[in-house]
């Protein structure tokens, strides 16, 4: 019988060192997709080689985009937005970013394709992307708002349109923008809640006629993108796990180099500083118009705080690890506006509340809120049902560094979707993560 392993975390030693984190997943996926729209070859340095990124890369290859891995970079041979019909289904695995952005792009690209994903991705809502695309006059079919998605080339005339987004979703916004690249005329997107703007930054950097003013994005098409070399910064969402672990550890100090500091990604830093975190930013500069810097973190005595819904879009991926920080802080922390957590890889509000409460954390959960009663002492010791969610898995492993008893997660396989080398990196810093035979 084949052995099956997962991970167990236990009481941590002080964490110290100077490190880098894996490259930004969001920017890596966008760099591949948008490079395929360029007319000519793009060299991408420091591309994240995680499952989500590689699944998107393989999808582009199935659409007959040539991509070669060289010693120091990946080279994408862009065809100016021309794709050929694939001979098989386009499988995105667990990548919500990949499938939603490519749904937008392919919907106006005159191809016939079927888009699929794994069990987790197949349970996530896709109508939030498809409904806006229907305003552009595309041919898409799907069942009950979920995968598979089928895109048809029916030679329709696509029409530019205006969109008002009530939710803060970079994936929805990006799907519309990528679809609009093939639509003659002016497309406008009004964001009620601004979200991460990696797509806008990269499109504009490569030559798109795009402007942003007063939460309104205006794209004029057709566009002809010119290839430039791209360098992917470190992923702030990966750095977040290290930041919180260092803050909660005694006698610890870590510098994380070359981390992306996009304004719409670093809401966590603002919240943690309100909680009395000792964090500083140095060496700020730009990679392809993305702000990058080094983050220095020191052990801190965290206090509870209140996090209002207005900032939720700026720390949406960091809530699981922020809940862990709040669990060990002094006092009560309250979080509001968490509706978007319900449509991630799992219902993260429900999954994290269950994992934390079963391991001794006192909390109260509302429809879109949670209140956590922090305490330096947390029991731990109960197995964690991750619901195949990589951020839940990694957050609860961090929890195990500080709880009295070890934490064992039910599955470690999905961690590599975003943070390959998670276990090894923490062990370099001084943490204890062991393989555990199930």
Distance CA 45, CA 63 (A): 22
Q: Out of 91, 118, 197, 317, pick the active-site residue.
A: 317
Among left, alpha and beta (phi > 0; psi -120 to 50; other), residue 289 is: left
Cα dihedral 348→349→352→354 (10° resolution): -120
Distance CA 265, CA 194 (A): 11
Nearest CA-CA partner of 9 in 317, 393, 279? 393
Provide the terminal-to-terminal Cα distance of the chain, rounded to the nearest Å: 12
Question: Contact at 8 Å (CB) between 177 and 212?
Answer: no
Distance CA 358, CA 179 (A): 44
Give the rounded distance of the alpha carbon of 326 from its chain centre: 21
Provide the pairing of β-strand 73-79 with 90-91.
unpaired
Whether 317 is a known active-site residue: answer yes
Phi, psi for 420 (deg, rounded to 5): -60, 140
Distance CA 194, CA 129 (A): 16
Distance CA 193, CA 391 (A): 23
Question: Contact at 8 Å (CB) between 196 and 253?
Answer: no
- Measured from the Cβ of residue 282, the count of other Cβ atoms closer than 10 Å reads 10
Q: Where are the beta strands (DSSP E) in 214-299?
A: 216-221, 230-231, 253-260, 278-287, 290-298
Distance CA 55, CA 92 (A): 5
Instruction: Please give the C-alpha separations between residue 417 and each of 22, 137, 335, 390, in angstroms, as whole numbers.
Output: 11, 33, 27, 7
Instruction: Please give the C-alpha separations between residue 114 and each of 62, 134, 140, in angstroms, as whole numbers.
Output: 12, 17, 10
What is the helix (H) or strand (E) element at residue 229, kind and residue range?
none
Distance CA 170, CA 101 (A): 10
Active site residues: 317
């Amino acid at each position: 019988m084949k052995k099956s392993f997962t991970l167990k975390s236990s009481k941590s030693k002080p964490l110290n060192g100077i490190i880098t984190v894996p490259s930004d997943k969001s920017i890596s996926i966008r760099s591949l997709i948008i490079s395929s729209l360029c007319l000519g070859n793009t060299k991408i340095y420091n591309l994240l080689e995680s499952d989500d990124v590689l699944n998107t890369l393989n999808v582009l290859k199935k659409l007959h985009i040539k991509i070669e891995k060289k010693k120091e970079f990946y080279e994408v041979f862009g065809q100016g937005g021309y794709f050929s019909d694939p001979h098989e289904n386009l499988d995105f695995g667990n990548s919500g970013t990949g499938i939603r952005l490519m749904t937008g792009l392919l919907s106006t690209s005159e191809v016939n394709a079927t888009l699929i994903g794994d069990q987790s991705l197949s349970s996530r809502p896709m109508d939030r992307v498809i409904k806006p695309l229907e305003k552009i006059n595309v041919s898409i079919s799907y069942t009950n708002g979920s995968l598979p998605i089928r895109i048809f080339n029916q030679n329709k005339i696509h029409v530019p349109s205006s969109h008002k987004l009530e939710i803060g979703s970079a994936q929805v916004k990006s799907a519309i923008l990528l679809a609009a690249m093939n639509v003659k005329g002016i497309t406008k997107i009004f964001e009620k809640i601004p979200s991460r703007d990696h797509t806008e930054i990269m499109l504009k950097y490569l030559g798109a006629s795009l402007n942003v003013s007063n939460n309104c994005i205006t794209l004029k098409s057709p566009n002809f993108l010119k290839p430039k070399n791209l360098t992917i910064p470190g992923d702030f969402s990966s750095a977040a796990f290290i930041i919180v672990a260092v803050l909660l550890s005694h006698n610890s100090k870590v510098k994380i180099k070359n981390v992306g500091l996009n304004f719409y990604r670093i809401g966590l830093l603002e919240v943690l500083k309100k909680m009395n975190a000792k964090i500083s930013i140095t060496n700020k500069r730009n990679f392809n118009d993305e702000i990058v810097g080094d983050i220095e973190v020191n052990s801190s005595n965290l206090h509870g705080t209140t996090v209002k819904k207005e900032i939720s879009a700026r720390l949406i991926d960091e809530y699981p690890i922020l809940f862990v920080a709040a669990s060990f802080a002094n006092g009560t922390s309250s979080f509001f506006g968490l509706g978007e957590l319900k449509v991630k890889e799992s219902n993260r509000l429900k999954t994290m509340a269950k994992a934390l409460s079963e391991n001794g954390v006192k909390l109260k959960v509302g429809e879109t809120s949670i209140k956590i009663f922090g305490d330096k002492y947390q029991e731990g010791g109960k197995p964690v049902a991750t619901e195949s969610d990589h951020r839940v898995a990694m957050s609860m492993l961090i929890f195990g560094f500080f709880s009295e008893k070890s934490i064992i997660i039910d599955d470690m396989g999905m961690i590599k979707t975003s943070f390959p080398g998670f276990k090894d990196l923490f062990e370099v810093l001084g943490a204890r993560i062991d393989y555990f035979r199930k």
